[in-house]
Amino acid sequence: MARKREFDENKVLEALCDVFWENGYDGTSYAQIMEATGLQKGSLYAAFGDKKSLYIKAINRYDQNSVSGAVAMLRDGKLPGAQRISLLMDALITDAQTERGRWGCLLCNAATDMAPFDTDAESAVMNSMTRFKKAIGEALKDTPTPKAVELVWAAYFGGRVLIKAGATKTTLRALKKQVLAAIS
């Protein structure tokens, strides 16, 4: 008979997301994973699989918790599209002021960290980024430049990378201003 799990799976997934988000795949050791989750290696393997499986679960959790909120906001037809894009860009400026924000974006990190070398990681990253891109397209439908999807998409994810590199709020505000000018 299988033993009942004695941990909160949601809390473990949150911890996995954070440890990989902050340190990347190669920069995260099993010791860090065990410390963050409070689980031993055997329990982690039994519940979630190997390190790569843990990483993919972290990406999917990030998508569920971070990307889904942005996608919902971008699809919210109660606000004009340009205002939704403005709110999206505001998130960059706000996040630049937080410790987690300085970690960058787990999708961006994974896109350069593991996706070039692993098809499962690539698929998880691209599925999330593509869903995000489609939501940007929905927000842009009622703007004068509905075909500026790639521009906004690249500016947003580029902004996330800039935050990790230490970009100032001034730089991010200038990025926002240029994006909004491009879609007006």
Residue among 137, 146, 120 nearest 56 (CA): 120
As a whole number, mean pLDDT of residues 19-30 equals 95
Q: What is the pLDDT of residue 3?
A: 58
pLDDT in tens, 137-184: 999 998 999 999 999 999 999 999 999 999 999 999 999 999 999 999
Q: What is the pLDDT of residue 76?
A: 94
What's phi and psi for 24, nearest 5 deg? 75, 175
Long-range contacts of 109-115 (CB under 8 A, 24+ apart): 109/21, 109/24, 109/164, 110/20, 110/25, 110/55, 110/59, 113/24, 113/25, 113/26, 114/24, 114/25, 114/55
Check whether 6 has a pLDDT greater than 90.
Answer: no
How far is Cα 100 from Cα 96, in angstroms, rounded to an integer? 8
Query: What is the rounded average pLDDT for all residues in the chain?
Result: 93
As a whole number, mean pLDDT of residues 108-114 equals 95
Instruction: Calculate the CA 79 to chain-centre distance.
Output: 23
Domains identified in the chain and CATH numbers: 9-182 (1.10.357.10)
Residue type at 179 in one-letter notation: V
pLDDT tier at 7, thresholds 50, 70, 90: confident
pTM for this entry: 0.90
pLDDT in tens, 38-76: 999 988 888 889 999 999 999 999 999 999 999 999 999
Check whether 86 has a pLDDT greater than 90.
Answer: yes
Q: Following CA atoms 149, 152, 158, 163 in sequence, which dihedral angle do they give, to the nearest 10 degrees?
A: -150
How far is Cα 20 from Cα 42, in angstroms, rounded to an integer? 19
Dihedral class, residue 39 (left if φ above 0, else alpha if ψ from -120 to 50, else beta): beta
As a whole number, mean pLDDT of residues 76-81 equals 95
What's phi and psi for 148, nearest 5 deg? -85, 25
Q: What is the pLDDT of residue 4?
A: 57
Ordered DSSP codes for 114-158:
TGGG-HHHHHHHHHHHHHHHHHHHHHHTTSS-TT-HHHHHHHHHH
As a whole number, mean pLDDT of residues 26-44 equals 93
